[in-house]
Copies of this chain bind each other. A is one copy, B any other.
Amino acid sequence: MTLRPALLATAVLLALPLAACVHAPAAAPAAKPLTTQEVLDASTPQDWRPLDPENTLYVQLESGMVVIELAPQFAPEHVANIRTLARGHYYDGLSINRSQDNFVVQWGDPAGDELALRRPLGGAKAALPAEFSRAAEGLAFTALPDVDGWAPQVGFVDGFPAARDPKAGRAWLAHCYGVVGAGRAMAPDSSNGTELYVVTGQSPRQLDLNITTVGRVVVGMERLSVLPRGSGPLGFYTEESQRVPILAARLASEVAPEARANIEVLRTDTATWQALVESRRNRRDEWYVHPAGHVDVCNLTVPVRAVERKPAAP
């Protein structure tokens, strides 16, 4: 599946939330604080990283592609199971069954609790341990100095918004816009990756430490966030015809290299990232008259960009 045109436009949009030309010439380091655009313009190739094909899931909708970066460092068992499900084409032909305003969009097997009707899992596991948090040790955690009411500390790990409790020695993904989690029932260990949701509204941080998060949408959020809200409880669609088909879901590693989305994500462990965070904490764009002096972990969108594909050898 080739998806570059849509991705290009989308990636540019995501990379520049306040818009501007992505090809603007690199600015020389300025004495004054930089705007976000100036930080991006001055970024170097080393400030960006490609996605690992083993951690990249392409979800094909009729409206186009959604690209999810998986986070095995936070939910190794769930991510391994999602890889197995994707390799077995488990998600193909399932659907988005829920869109709740200012909360989440959720997809999976429309058979729901009707176990007899549910699609077999193939080689995937039906039961997994809950992975609500992990040991903070061993994670490259770039902490924000900014206060957070939900956790002792927030920051970024490999481009994912995250939280940390130094006393407990635990870390977890923060439920920010675009974060993907594994739906569960009452039992904390009742998720297995067959049912996935993505945050489409104000960050529902109350879900942190209550459910397993598995990654985040890096491209294509606007294909999910606009889905009509369901009129049933919790925003579930009440008519089968309202469900949005998932045409296919593939790991990038299962797709021919020339057909993969050539996108890069800004690294969050660099001086460029620190400069970008500061440009969001205190907006220097001419329009602003009152720099906030603060930024919320969920108000920081990690830039994504499309990169030119190297021409194939003749």
Question: Which residues of A approach B to under 8 Å, CB–CB?
Answer: 1-11, 13-15, 17-20, 98, 100-104, 106, 108, 112-113, 132, 146-150, 176-178, 183-186, 188, 190-191, 194-195, 197, 201-206, 208-211, 221-222, 225-229, 231, 233-236, 280, 283, 286-290, 292, 294-296, 298-299, 301
Contacts and interface: CB of A to CB of B under 8 A. Distances in A.
A236 B2 contact: yes
Contacts of A222: 101, 228-229
Contacts of A186: 5, 286-287
A299 B229 contact: no
A301 B120 CA distance: 39
B208 A103 contact: no
A64 to B, nearest CB: 12
Nearest to A282: B206
Given A101-B222, A210-B289, A108 B202 contact: no
Number of copies of this protein chain within its complex: 2
Contacts of A227: 226
A285 to B, nearest CB: 10
Contact of A149 (B3, B10, B146, B211): B146
The 10 A-B residue pairs with the shortest CB-CB distance in the complex, in nearest-first order: A19-B233, A209-B290, A149-B294, A222-B229, A101-B222, A11-B234, A1-B195, A147-B149, A206-B292, A177-B202
Nearest to A176: B202
A234 B6 CA distance: 10
B190 A9 contact: no
A178 B201 CA distance: 11
Contact of A177 (B8, B13, B201): B201
A205 B3 CA distance: 15
A2 B103 contact: no
Contact of A2 (B7, B132, B195, B295): B195
Nearest to A97: B2
A143 B16 CA distance: 35
B103 A14 contact: yes
Contact of A1 (B149, B194, B201, B301): B194
A149 B280 CA distance: 14
